[in-house]
Amino acid sequence: MNLSKWWVAGVLLVAGVSAYIGNAVWQQHKSQQGLVLTECQIEEVVPTYIHFFVTNDVLQVMTKEQVKQRIEKIIQSANTVLKNSCIPLQRQIKSIQYVDFSEQYLFDFGSVHFALQKAVGTQVIGRIRQTMNEFYAILLGPDNTIFDDQWRGTSEMSPEGRFIAMSYDAMPLTFEHEMGHLAGADHDQQTIDEQAAFGFEQIVPLWDQKQSKPYARAALCGDAGTVMSYNHNILPVYSHPGLYYQGEQCGDPEHADNARVLRRYAKHLKQELIAGHWIADR
């Protein structure tokens, strides 16, 4: 089945329980003293373009200029994580568009996408999904949200995932956390075990369970965790064996190397773009 057509048809999407990352629970680590990064030289990066959609009710609490600055901060934080992790990817803002959800009823991730598709048109979403290095994200305001005080972001769980949803006031690193999910990166093992106890395996599609790599895990080290973890303190980096924090290794080649997941993803993306299977830029 062509996945783009599957989306446009309005079939409910499957989203992972991907981020209990509210401001009170999940914070970007303010002190990175003791963080030792791997030295690397990235010669060529693959650009990824993000279409941001923002619900109009965000303007009740922020101006358009403040929204723009916030999105720029989100992208800056994401690129810091990628650079720190020696991953040849770069996030770029493709567009920012406001949408009216005042007549929509949101109750889950699928309903958010359905409302977005209704607001901007199936052709707009379809064009984005035809381009392998383009993604789209929606920032949900206080009146149009599926989130609570702790759960602040989620992402599409499918073989060709492109869509993420975030609360407008989520921490900036929430974005890269969700983008990591789209590339196949996963949480720390402790969190995965806890989610499994609550039936998480019944929520995650079978194809995602089979494709998940055993090393696609975040790491906990010192008093913090890497970007895909659920730790209270988050380091702006993906887990990998060459990373150390407070004297502890923040990765393992067999059990915690999300950076490798992202590098493999970047390599595949580049190969597909070079081969011309997808539109590289417009």
**What residue spans define the domains of the chain?**
44-275
- The answer, as to whether pTM is greater than 0.75, is yes
pLDDT at 7 over 80: no
Residue 2 has pLDDT above 50, yes or no: no
Q: What is the pLDDT of residues 182-233, one digit of tens each?
A: 999 998 877 776 765 554 444 444 444 445 789 999 999 999 999 999 998 9
Q: Rounded mean pLDDT of the chain?
A: 84
Fold adopted by 44-275? Collagenase (Catalytic Domain) (3.40.390)
**What is residue 210's predicted lDDT score, i.e. its pLDDT?**
44
172 within 8 A of 28, measured Cβ to Cβ: yes
